Chain A
Amino acid sequence: SAVISQKPSRDICQRGTSLTIQCQVDSQVTMMFWYRQQPGQSLTLIATANQGSEATYESGFVIDKFPISRPNLTFSTLTVSNMSPEDSSIYLCSVYDDTHRGEAFFGQGTRLTVV
């Protein structure tokens, strides 16, 4: 199975600042995704990170707020921009593993607190 390393694991940030979260996978994967998990809630898809092109965002999420990069098939970043306390959540990177069809794996998450 794919092993996903996500950094940082947690951070406390001032409102109005930005945080970039990194996701590194130990093998090449076609599909990478970013999710948000608000306190006490389930996971919500933010966007699909496309290699070599702009990310595909879900309704309610915009590129200016959550810019995503995916320079290759093993790495992606999510930036949370101009943060407010409402952005306090766990942010999760996920991959659909082509070599294990039907299995989707997650990083350990980044717990973000905005003060």
Chain B
Amino acid sequence: EDQVTQSPEALRLQEGESSSLNCSYTVSGLRGLFWYRQDPGKGPEFLFTLYSAGEEKEKERLKATLTKKESFLHITAPKPEDSATYLCAAPMLSGYALNFGKGTSLLVTP
């Protein structure tokens, strides 16, 4: 069964303290690994899609990387406004709908 597993479940950082979130997957024939940000009471906001091992994408303080078994979301010098839940997902075998991990809840304190 295809699975997407995220760790840690929760992470608390001081402002400026860099860290990484992990997403491991067991998906046959990966057709993309998706990262989203979700703020409370809102729908997920698209961040990145990665397709092949070694691929990297960046957006402001976020950088996503992909290996054959996992993806990392690196957060460099985070700010309080980066506080959110970060979700990782992979397409289901049946099509383009996504199978989501449980997310990492990030809190960045001043």
* Residues of A near any B CB (own CB < 8 A): 1, 4, 6, 31, 33, 41-45, 48, 56, 92, 94, 96, 102-109, 111
Query: 7 nearest interchain CB pairs?
Result: A106-B43, A102-B49, A96-B96, A42-B100, A43-B100, A42-B102, A109-B43
CA A16 – CA B42 in complex, angstroms? 27
* Residues of B near any A CB (own CB < 8 A): 32, 34, 36, 41-46, 49, 51, 87, 89, 92, 94-103
Q: What distance in Å separates the Cβ of A3 from its nearest Cβ neighbour in chain B?
A: 12
Secondary structure class of chain B's binding surface, majority of residues: loop
For A102, the chain B residues whose CB sits under 8 A away are: 32, 49, 51
Given contact pairs A106-B46, A107-B43, A108-B42, a sample of 18 additional A-B residue pairs in the complex whose CB atoms are under 8 Å apart: A1-B46, A4-B43, A42-B100, A42-B103, A43-B44, A43-B89, A43-B100, A45-B92, A48-B95, A56-B94, A92-B43, A94-B98, A102-B32, A102-B49, A102-B51, A105-B46, A106-B36, A109-B43
Cβ contact within 8 Å between A106 and B44 = yes
For A92, the chain B residues whose CB sits under 8 A away are: 43-44
Cβ contact within 8 Å between A31 and B51 = no
CA A104 – CA B100 in complex, angstroms? 13
For B46, the chain A residues whose CB sits under 8 A away are: 1, 103-106
Q: What distance in Å separates the Cβ of A66 from its nearest Cβ neighbour in chain B?
A: 15
For B44, the chain A residues whose CB sits under 8 A away are: 43, 92, 106
Please pick, from A4, A45, A108, the residue contacting B97 in the complex, using a CB distance under 8 A. A45
CA A105 – CA B32 in complex, angstroms? 15
For A41, the chain B residues whose CB sits under 8 A away are: 102
Please pick, from A6, A31, A107, A109, the residue contacting B95 in the complex, using a CB distance under 8 A. A31
For B92, the chain A residues whose CB sits under 8 A away are: 45
CA A103 – CA B89 in complex, angstroms? 12
Q: What distance in Å separates the Cβ of A62 from its nearest Cβ neighbour in chain B?
A: 17
Cβ contact within 8 Å between A42 and B101 = yes
Q: What distance in Å separates the Cβ of B89 from its nearest Cβ neighbour in chain A?
A: 8
8 contacts between A and B (CB under 8 A): A33-B97, A42-B87, A43-B89, A45-B92, A92-B43, A94-B97, A102-B49, A107-B43
